[in-house]
Structure 1
Amino acid sequence: MATVTLKGNSIHTLGTLPAKGSKAPDFHLTTNDLATVKLSDYEGSKVVLNIFPSVDTGTCAQSVRQFNTEAAELDNTIVLCVSKDLPFAQARFCGAEGIENVEMLSDFKDGNFGKAYNLEFTDGPLAPLHSRAVVVLDEKGTVLYSEQVPEIVDEPNYKAALEALMA
């Protein structure tokens, strides 16, 4: 179990994120057109997993905007924004914001992603949503970087995540 805070109050996740050098767990997530994708669909590309509770909050929305801007500059890299928001809400947000450089994916069906990556909240007002985290993978699905954001209302360390892609 990992402990993070929500406005200073402790809440917990299932465990710790996959460690640097480990193979990233597989997942099945839902796209905005209700298709299912899995990690192996992205093999051959570097992957940034931008994970958050809900795109309908300010910090989560900002992380999508920031990675959307950064993704336009990245070679052979895809940014996957993952939450338990319904695909319809994700599509609405992207349309309203002009988001085109990231792929929005939903874990609403069975929560397998949140469980596999140990980032589902187990208590507190956001249970069972995902905690805020970033996981960066190489072309073969090996973890290059992971960050569990310690305070949910804070943004992730974009610079460190993007620097991991260059290592």
Structure 2
Amino acid sequence: MAEPSTFTAPSVRLAVPDDGPALGELDRSTWSTLHAVQPRPQPPYAPFFDDRHRPEGILVAEDVNPVGETVLAGYVRVVPPTPLACNAHVRQIQGLAVAGWARGRGIGRSLIRTACAAARADGANRLTLRVLGHNAPARALYEAEGFTVEGVLRGEFFLGGRYVDDVLMGRPLSP
């Protein structure tokens, strides 16, 4: 396997409807109680895109996998948190996944940075998210990208036999 320094930055683009099957597979392959509050997906699998989860709310990262193919390596879902006009200045990350083979290559960071830029270009001045308290790698990445903890819902979820905090994070999108 090549050294990380030989990897190029991933390409990030807006999702298209044809990405649905690959995104569904990525979602299933990365499922973990570290970040998921829903049970593990079981067949028959629901489509990745539906009326509430549309391609225009998803940014995808493409990168070269270990066998040399350019494939989807990750995604981030960035959408308005509510349909309210008084909340139109905010966007929320409602999903982030990076393929196991692609971790440690800067894909999550590229997705977050592109999400910030896209939200800013869409008129937002604030980006928020929720992350499980025990997901230390995700929390460290978000903090490194300027997110701060704005609230904690203690013991909000019962996962794997224990109570887990729901951590609310946010950051301004000023230039």
Q: Same fold (TM over 0.5)?
A: no
Given the two structures, how large is their TM-score scaled by the length of structure 2? 0.30
Given the two structures, how large is their TM-score scaled by the length of structure 1? 0.31
Is the radius of gyration larger for structure 1 or structure 2?
2
Larger relative strand fraction = 2
